[in-house]
Chains A and B, each alone.
Chain A
Amino acid sequence: MTAVAASDLAETGTGPTINESRMERSERSFARKIVIPAFAVAIIVTQIPFLATIYYSFQNWDLARPEARSFAWFHNYAAVVTNGAFLPALLNTVVIVGSSVIVSLVLGLLLAVLLDRKFPGRAVARTLLITPFLVMPAASALIWKWSLLDANVGMINWAFGLVGIPPVAWNTDFPGMTVVFVLTWQYTPFMMLILLAGLQSQSGEMLEAAQVDGAGPIRIFRTMTLPHLRTYAELAILLGTVLMVQVFDPVNIMTGGAGHSKTLSYLLYERAFIGQQVGEAAAYGVVTVIVTIAVATVALRTLFRVFTEEGGGGR
């Protein structure tokens, strides 16, 4: 899908400028030999199935009636737009991913700032903080749903009770929000790690100079640290978005798509593998890819900028 976008991006880069010598030719041929296997695997596993998806999206194809298969023109795409499931799912995806990204970015920034100073046990604190990102998403979803958010025995309602807030039936009344809880918990460490790397790349001398000049910590943070963090925050937002847009595990495990929790990827799963509508599901797939390309192109551009700033190579 984004192969076109990628080559378009990469054209702005500089290739090797030295004239091709014999040695360089043999170097190139060696390099080709060692890159081709990985390239072939990537094409076979990702690109060819995508082409097949595009083909299927123009077919009338019901898995329950495989003999009645025919060319459908844009029928499936029309169905996607008109059957009323797509737009709500798109909206749900935007709301769930958007709020998870924003909340985890803010919490991640807070944690990164807290960890960017010396205090007893900092290494341990950092280790504990990255753990939510490592926990198997299926396990997080189950533990959050049954152990933390359960209306009767959940720890969240217990904590609410301590401060006098009446219990909330999270799983039945706010399924979309429970997905946001889990995603936020899971991705805050991700945001924190990237922002912490940004904080630690700040020049200590400049900060000291500002301090000597009499700037207070809040002013230094606002006028120096935040602008410096911008690139890192962009990267964190884009990568987080690209990863979360595909969210499936918590939806399938916690809500089954109930309430406002039916995201695009869950909708496609439902159409294809429960509803057995191959053609229509393939059309959902293609549309999902188009939506993702929009986000991914921006992400790739940002990545490319950071990549070229870094110098991009060993020579």
Chain B
Amino acid sequence: MSAEVSSRVRTRPRLTGRRVGGLGITVLTWVVVFLFFFPVLWMIFTSFKTEQAAAQFPPSFITHLSFDRYATVFQRGMGLYLANSAALSILSTVAVMALAIPAAYGLSVRRVGRWQDLLFFFISTKFMPVAASIIPVFLLLRVIGALDNLWALGVLYVGMNLPLAIWMMRSFFAEVPYAVVEAAQIDGASYSRELWRVSLPIVAPGAAAAALICFIFAWNEYFLVNLLTAVVARTTPPFLGSFVDGRGQFLAVLSAASTIAVLPVIIAGWVAQKRLVRGLAMGAVK
């Protein structure tokens, strides 16, 4: 089974009636796609309007467009939050991968005893609601003075993404032909050389996809950062809400800030989309 849409060829009878029906279905498909994508499209479009135009009803489709709202967003200090988001997402992803790559190798190629139990232990932590641990974590961070601290948040993000990364990497390592590993062994390679120099290069595209997915989840995370940070370590998601202003018009500037916030992840997701499904299905679907 392949995740690649184009890899499957199905021959269909070429009858004129079917072709017309096919055109109808294609048009229907594109209409549905447009409707689903519309909220994103509308957000981007609104971000280029003036506040007055954004608040018009019925909505204005032809209006003066400019980058002014983007300037406003940065004047309000979005730079700091984006920097925090980037630092947190990148560092926690690096740490997750540094832990997950060896662990997944030890669970799929060079196997530790009771590897199945361990694998299911890891995935079960993903299913544990954050409600199970948030109260002691909050109290502990408060006592040791680590509230509003990016490093503390980073440790929690590592715990959050670790199971997913391990499961994804396991499913990629499982596809490395064992003969390759054996050949390296016969050539006298050490176990760690086998892992880093022989197996990892083979699964590098998968590892990149796993890292991207961890990055996406860290970048989008709201609950922990909203609760555990205030000023210094605040990231983008809770900052977006600050544009909502009961007194004035804010739709255009909110749309501009949201567009900036979602863009890195949308691009990352588009790049990783072929392997996204496997990560989302915990490696159970290829």
Interface of B is mostly: helix
Give the docked Cα–Cα distance between A245 and B57 (Å): 36
Complexed CA–CA distance, A197 and B103 (Å): 27
Does A81 count as interface, using CB distance less than 8 angstroms? no
Q: Verify if B144 is at the interface (C-beta below 8 Å from A).
A: no
Report whether A235 and B102 are in contact in the complex, using a CB–CB cutoff of 8 Å.
no
Assess the A46–B166 pair: CB atoms within 8 A: no
Residue interface mask A42-68, B partner, CB < 8 A = 1: 101111111011001000000000000
Given contacts A135-B40, A314-B176, contact A34 B273 (CB under 8 A): no
Size class of the A contact interface (CB-based, 8 Å) = 35 or more
Q: Which residues of chain B (116-139) have a CB below 8 Å from chain A?
A: 116-125, 127-139
Contact at A5–B162, with CB atoms within 8 Å?
no
In whole angstroms, how far apart are the Cα atoms of A221 and B251 in the complex? 45
The interface-forming segment of A95-103, A172-180, A296-304 is: A296-304
> Cβ of A197: which chain B residues have Cβ within 8 Å of it?
1, 3, 277, 281, 285-286
User: Is residue B233 contacting chain A, with contact meaning CB distance below 8 A?
Assistant: no
Task: Look across to chain A and name the residue whose beta carbon is closest to the beta carbon of B28.
Answer: A114
Q: Which residues of A contact B115 (CB under 8 A)?
A: 31
How many residues on B have C-beta within 8 angstroms of the other chain's C-beta atoms? 123
Contact between A126 and B280, CB atoms less than 8 A apart: no
B113 near A: Cβ within 8 Å? yes
The chain A residue with its CB closest to the CB of B270 is: A127
A136 touches B1 (CB 8 A): no
Once A50-B133, A146-B251 are accepted as A-B contacts, the answer to whether A135 and B103 lie under 8 Å apart by CB is: no
Residues in A with CB closer than 8 Å to B270 are 127, 130-131, 134
| Contact of B195 with A34 in the complex, beta carbons under 8 Å | yes
Q: Known pairs A34-B110, A285-B135. 8 more at Cβ < 8 A?
A: A6-B123, A41-B159, A134-B265, A139-B43, A146-B254, A193-B277, A248-B222, A306-B284
| 13 residue pairs from A and B, CB less than 8 Å apart | A34-B110, A41-B99, A46-B125, A49-B135, A120-B26, A136-B220, A140-B39, A142-B258, A146-B251, A232-B285, A248-B223, A313-B111, A314-B176
